[in-house]
């Protein structure tokens, strides 16, 4: 079993009968959805999933996990999702799969947020992973130039064919190559203030439990909020 599968399967154990569950996106979340699908089929577990991307919706539907739209629920009991980086103090970067907008909407509705990662994602400080920023197409060149002027090393995310990547909402993604993010809250506040920026991948003060995949087994860490 690889580390992503190990943590995905471990996280699925935390889901109880009747829960509304936020289903994350990415190669780690994939295994969690797979494990939940097995529990639904084999144990008759009754849950309602709220998905964070088209990809996850398709996977959950194929596995027979009942789904609701995010607007049909009052709250979500637990969301389980991957992450691209988690710092010493449990702040995170997400959006490597360009799903951070929906992921943040779902996380904010959630009583508990569990991140599942292999140990390579645990870092001292955030920033080595390029910070994804989702921007509306109109005027995205202006936002890009502003990032350039500020020395934030922006790069439009592209497909292998050289087209700009489109999110599920039809927006572009600009990745900021920052190396180190000294003050994540200040940066998040500034990005939040920009017209044309839809959402960024800084997930601050969000996670309540982290499951880290290590060679000798998963390690579960509770985060006090
Ligand atoms: C998608 C995400 C993913 O959770 C993140 O990129 C981790 O992905 P993976 O589990 O494939 O490494 O934020 O937008």
> Do 8 and 116 sit in the same domain of this protein?
yes
Residue with tokens 């494990």: 35
The answer on 108 and 158 residing in a single domain is no
pLDDT in tens, 71-123: 999 999 999 999 999 999 999 999 999 999 999 999 999 999 999 999 999 99
Taking the C-alpha atoms of residue 145 and residue 152, their distance in angstroms, rounded to an integer, is: 10
| 194 and 215 co-located in one domain | no
- Asked if residue 95 has its Cβ within 6 Å of ligand 1, the reply is yes
pLDDT at 225: 79
| Closest by Cα among 104, 126, 122, 102 to 187 | 126
Q: Would 146 be classed as within a structural domain? A: yes
Any domain includes 78: yes
Q: Are residues 105 and 156 in the same domain?
A: no
**Structural domain contains residue 126:** no
pLDDT digits 0-9 by tens, 121-151: 999 999 999 999 999 999 999 999 999 999 9
CATH of the domain at 91: 3.40.50.1360
Report the nearest-CA residue for atom 4 of ligand 1: 82
**Statement: residue 222 has pLDDT above 90:** yes
The per-residue pLDDT for range 4-24, each reduced to its tens digit, is 999 999 999 999 999 999 999
> Does residue 21 sit in the same domain as residue 66?
yes
| For ligand 1, mutation pick of 6, 29, 207 (most atoms within 8 Å of CB) | 29
Residues 109 and 94 in one domain: yes
Question: What span, in angstroms and rounded, lies between the C-alpha atoms of 193 and 204?
Answer: 16
* Mean pLDDT of all residues belonging to the chain: 98
Q: What is the CATH number of the domain that holds 188?
A: 3.30.70.260
Q: What is the residue range of 169's domain? A: 131-199
Give me ligand 1 centre to Cα 97, in Å.
5
- Supply the DSSP symbol for 122: B
Looking at the domain assignment, is residue 195 inside a domain? yes
Tokens describing residue 190: 């500034």
Do 185 and 77 share a domain, yes or no?
no
Do 98 and 140 fall into the same domain?
Answer: no
Domain count, the chain: 2
Q: Do 82 and 145 lie in a common domain?
A: no
């Amino acid at each position: 079993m690889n580390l992503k599968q190990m943590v995905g399967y471990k996280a699925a154990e935390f889901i109880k009968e009747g829960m509304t569950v936020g289903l994350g996106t990415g190669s780690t979340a994939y295994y969690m959805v797979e494990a939940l699908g097995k529990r639904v089929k084999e144990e008759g577990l009754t849950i309602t999933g709220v998905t964070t991307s088209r990809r996850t919706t398709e996977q959950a539907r194929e596995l027979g996990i009942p789904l609701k739209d995010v607007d049909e629920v009052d709250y979500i009991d637990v969301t389980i999702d991957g992450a691209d980086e988690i710092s010493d103090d449990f702040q995170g970067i997400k959006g490597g799969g360009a799903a951070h907008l929906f992921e943040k909407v779902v996380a904010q509705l959630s009583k508990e947020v569990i991140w599942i990662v292999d140990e390579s994602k645990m870092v001292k400080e955030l920033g080595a992973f390029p910070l994804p920023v989702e921007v509306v197409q109109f005027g995205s060149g202006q936002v890009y130039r502003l990032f350039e002027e500020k020395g934030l090393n922006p790069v439009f995310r592209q497909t292998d064919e050289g087209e700009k990547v489109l999110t599920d909402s039809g927006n572009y993604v600009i990745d900021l190559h920052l190396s180190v993010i000294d003050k994540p809250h200040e940066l998040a506040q500034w990005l939040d203030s920009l017209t044309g920026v839809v959402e960024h991948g800084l997930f601050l003060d969000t996670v309540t439990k982290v499951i880290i995949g290590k060679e000798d087994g998963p390690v579960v860490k509770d985060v006090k909020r």
